């Protein structure tokens, strides 16, 4: 619990305008929603990752025209939108189209593997993989605390680049 933190459960992110009063007046949005592409067809993954994110972002801008937006993307995202890896192309298109929107500031975080924290309610069933990666390649893994601190610092500071890879996130944290 924190006095500046409020929870709002929105069942359908494409209908954000229904919550206009609840989300008006905020300075920043940390968009951390997403799914794994494992076993998913491209059209469904695109709807969740691209269509829903862009609909949410556009609605948010209509309500808060001076808001900063941080999108949690993923390591190895394909900004060219031309690669063979489906999820990387879709995330690349999402990043590219978010960058065209008139946010006060817009950042794309590409954290790669992240370790869970004590008390975390929803942990990825593959979270143990991050621990294995951290053992062999500690510089390839971030903690959720590092990502969170970097997000806050990004909106507080100027001259932060728009695409932040693991090393950039760690330095900003």
Q: 99 pLDDT exceeds 80?
A: yes
Q: How far apart are CA 166 and CA 73, in angstroms?
A: 11
- What's the pLDDT band for 122 if we cut at 50, 70, 90? low
Nearest to 110 by CA among 66, 67, 162: 162
- What's the pLDDT band for 126 if we cut at 50, 70, 90? low
Please give the average per-residue pLDDT across 109-113, as a whole number.
91
Per cent of the chain over pLDDT 90 is: 72
Query: What DSSP character marks residue 18?
Result: G
Please give the average per-residue pLDDT across 35-52, as a whole number.
96
Higher-pLDDT residue of 26 and 138 is: 26
- The C-alpha angle with vertex 12 and arms to 8 and 14, in degrees rounded to 5, equals 110
All structural domains of the chain: 13-172 (3.40.50.720)
Q: How far apart are CA 86 and CA 78, in angstroms?
A: 9
Q: Where does residue 34 fall: left (phi above 0), alpha (psi -120 to 50 degrees), or beta otherwise?
A: left
Q: 123 pLDDT exceeds 70?
A: no
Q: How far apart are CA 83 and CA 72, in angstroms?
A: 20
């Amino acid at each position: 619990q924190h006095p500046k933190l409020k929870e709002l459960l929105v069942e359908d992110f494409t209908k954000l305008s229904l919550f206009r009063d609840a989300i008006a007046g905020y300075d920043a949005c940390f968009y951390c929603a997403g799914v794994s592409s494992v076993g998913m067809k491209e059209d469904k993954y695109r709807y969740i990752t691209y269509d829903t994110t862009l609909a949410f972002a556009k609605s948010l801008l209509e309500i808060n025209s001076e808001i900063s937006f941080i999108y949690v993307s993923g390591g190895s995202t394909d900004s060219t939108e031309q690669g063979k890896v489906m999820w990387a192309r879709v995330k690349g298109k999402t990043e590219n189209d978010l960058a065209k929107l008139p946010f006060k500031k817009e950042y794309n975080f590409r954290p790669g593997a992240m370790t869970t924290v004590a008390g975390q309610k929803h942990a990825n069933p593959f979270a143990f993989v991050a621990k294995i990666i951290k053992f062999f390649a500690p510089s390839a893994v971030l903690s959720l605390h590092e990502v969170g601190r970097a997000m806050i610092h990004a909106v507080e500071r100027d001259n932060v680049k728009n695409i932040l890879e693991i090393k950039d996130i760690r330095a900003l944290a």
